[in-house]
Amino acid sequence: MKKKILIIIGVILLSFLIFLLFFFLNNKNEEDINYEKEFINQGYSADETTLILDKVPKNEYNNFLSFGYDKSLIDILSSKDYKEDKFNNYIEYYLKNKKSNIADIITIVNSGYDLMNYPASSLLANLVKEKYYINDYVARYLDYGNSNNQDSKKIIAMVNSKADLGFYSNSYDSNLDENNLVIVNKFYHLKEDYTPTDLVTLSGQYNKGVNNKMRKEAAEAFMKMVDAASLENITLYNMSAFRSYDYQDNLYSRYIKRDGKEAADKYSARPGYSEHQSGLCSDLNEISDSFEGTDEAIWLKNNAYKYGFILRFPKGKEDITGYKYEPWHYRYVGVEAAKIIYEDDITLEEYYAYYIENET
């Protein structure tokens, strides 16, 4: 008897729940019904109206109605990348860029960058998707990109490295507080009297050059790298490491006398702008183009980053670094930075702009 009563109660409860569910599914809020009619009266189809009611925040219905019928608004709501919390941003940006591609508008707004006052374009949409995009440089990205037929990754690299400004066009003091990540290039220079205080001498199997000093941490990493290479029958040694300002001055002057200033600037640094003065780099084995393709060069290219060194002037990056490809020139930056630079195939200029300057 108790079992039957429980069954009856269960059936009654289930029936009541089904009734409630049916009621809520088939009875819309009167206010929603009124909005539905207004959207349809404006020309939106039943499916489009359903989309509006589903995707637009309820407190924005009146605002949406004020635009009249606009198919582009439906395209925004239909986008797979549409985010309801960015509704107002989409509308604001769209109203300023009515002739632009809706996908570009969605991408630019979704980036989260402050770009409301920049015209929408496929170029801008591609730029914000790049890993090394820096919002502070957006005007320069667009200026350079609109003047040069290059992909977004190259545009980012050129601007981040300041190469778009022209080499030696601006001069900044290298920030020595960055330690192993201090940058010295055609924009950042060291003072004439700068000499690292922790230089140590490379000797024995580690050196065959006159300029045989490196900063302590870099030297220790260098020797560790040389030892690791020797276990694979690869012989590495330093040919030129630390150079003073005066040494570089004499070297650069000789190159100018021999080849002219324009040519010399492609392979030699001006005094104060040489990375060798930092005590963090080394020219290994053979300072010649013939070093490319040797077993030693290949080993370095594939393994140096494990010991904190990077190929400083890679092939194909001459317009970013300002120097010709030098397969023998390696720079110590530490293992963490070297791994990123190696895996992402970027230069120290690009790394410095994004991870150092962009973080300050």
Which residues make beta-bridge pairs with 310?
331
Residue 25's alpha-carbon distances to 17, 28, 271, in angstroms, are 12, 7, 79
- For 16, counting Cβ atoms within 10 Å of its Cβ (0-12 exposed, 13-18 middle, 19+ buried), the class is exposed
Residue showing tokens 């330093």:
238
Whole-angstrom Cα distance, residue 192 to residue 251? 15
* Residue 326 falls in the annotated catalytic set: yes
Q: Are 286 and 297 in contact (CB under 8 A)?
A: no
Q: How far is CA 148 from the centre of its chain?
A: 19
Q: Are 96 and 90 in contact (CB under 8 A)?
A: no
Active site residue: 48, 275, 296, 326, which one?
A: 326
Q: Are 211 and 240 in contact (CB under 8 A)?
A: yes
- For 29, counting Cβ atoms within 10 Å of its Cβ (0-12 exposed, 13-18 middle, 19+ buried), the class is exposed
The residues carrying an active-site annotation are 326
